Structure 1
Amino acid sequence: MKKLIEQILKFGVVGIIATVIDFGVLYILSQPLGLDPVLSAGISFCVSLVFNYAASMRYVFTHREDMSRSREFVIFLVLSLIGLAINEAIMAAGVAVLGNSALAVMGTKVLATAIVMVWNFVSRKKWLDAGDAQ
């Protein structure tokens, strides 16, 4: 149980850093550089995803010897895109039900983030982590 708690804490730290990178790149590209916000969000998501993959597979999860790094990254990407879809579905539902006031949007985003965080950890642990095998 101690190892699982330690792994969850490491996952949280990596997630916080990835979020800062995502928001930072989005801001720099869309504000000072004036790029389209939607394009900027796509780029920032990709930059954050690459960091998240590298940090997660180095510090949080143990590489499975029966899986190539390229396959590992593809699975990581697919799981992340499913998380993004879950986030978008929750955001759309929240805005439809609660409206688009700042409080409604941010409250919905907190819920979406919590649910996607659980999805990301559980799915990555199941499909990518070698666990105690090493």
Structure 2
Amino acid sequence: MKIVNQLKNLHTLFFEFMRYCAVGGIAFICDYSILYVLTEFIGVYYLISTFAGFTVGILINYILSQKWVFKNVKIHGFRPFFTFLIIGIVGLGITEICMWLGVEAANMNYMVIKVLTTAIVLLWNYTARKTLIFSTLLINKQIEHSLD
């Protein structure tokens, strides 16, 4: 019975991660598009365009993660939202550093390095949000129901 429960948990986690990847894909398309348009058509410096795109992407990710990915647990209050935001800011820091290193140090195209950086940040964001926000909120929710 324990193995069956572990398999169910693994199955649930797999599909949750797939939903997170889909949400991340939507956020990435918006992020990437903003980066490209601001840099190529408006002439904004690529690191500023990266910041703008990432900011829109994180807002989309927040909304869709709440509604579809981690749908068993909703973020209420300032603390979980603040944690979500801090995780995003760390992700932005990783993005900006990788973008700068890729473009300035390795002389790579900023659009190529953005794709590579996104894969790293995706893993950071999912792992951190899953462990620091949604797992904690789910445990709190389970405790509340057991006390009823």
TM-score in same-fold range (> 0.5): yes
Q: What's 1:114 paired with? A: 119
Matching of residue 53 in structure 1 with residue 62 in structure 2:
yes
Q: How many residues align?
A: 128
Unpaired runs of 5+ in structure 2? 1-9, 143-148
1:63 corresponding residue in structure 2: 73
Deviations, residues 29-77 of structure 1 (Å, cap 9, x unaligned) = 5555x3634554433322221111010122112425xx63433222111
Find the aligned partners of 1:39 and 1:75 in 2 and give their Cα distance: 24
Would the alpha carbon gap of residues 126 and 115 (structure 1) be closer, same or farther in structure 2, given more than 3 Å must change?
A: same
From the superposition, tell whether residues 88 and 26 of structure 1 become closer, same or farther in structure 2 (CA, over 3 Å). closer
Which stretches in structure 1 are left out of the alignment for 5+ residues?
none
1:96-119: CA deviations, max 9, x gaps?
76x2044x983x545433222111
User: Which residue does the alignment assign to 1:79?
Assistant: 87
Asked if the contact 1:18/1:48 (under 8 Å) is kept, the reply is: yes
Alpha-carbon RMSD across the aligned residues, in angstroms, is: 3.1
> Which of residues 90, 103, 128 in structure 2 aligns to 1:123?
128
More helix by share: 2
In structure 1, C-alpha distance between the alignment counterparts of 2:111 and 2:30, rounded to whole Å: 21
TM-score by length of 2: 0.67
Q: Secondary structure at the match of 2:120?
A: helix
AA paired with 1:13?
A
Identity of aligned residues (%): 32
Kept after mapping to 2: 8 A contact 1:95/1:105: no
Higher RCO (C-alpha 8 Å, min separation 6): 1
Distance of aligned partners of 1:115 and 1:101 in 2 relative to their CA distance in 1, 3 Å threshold:
closer
Aligned to 2:3: none
Judged with a 3 Å threshold, the aligned counterparts in structure 2 of structure 1 residues 101 and 47 are, in CA distance, closer, same or farther, namely closer
Letter of the structure 2 residue corresponding to residue 19 of structure 1: F
Is 1:18 the counterpart of 2:18? The answer is no
**Does the aligned pair in 1 maintain the 2:95–2:118 contact within 8 Å?**
yes
Asked if residue 90 in structure 1 is aligned to residue 98 in structure 2, the reply is yes
Does the Cα contact within 8 Å between 2:51 and 2:92 map onto a contact in 1?
no
Q: SS at the partner of 1:128? A: helix
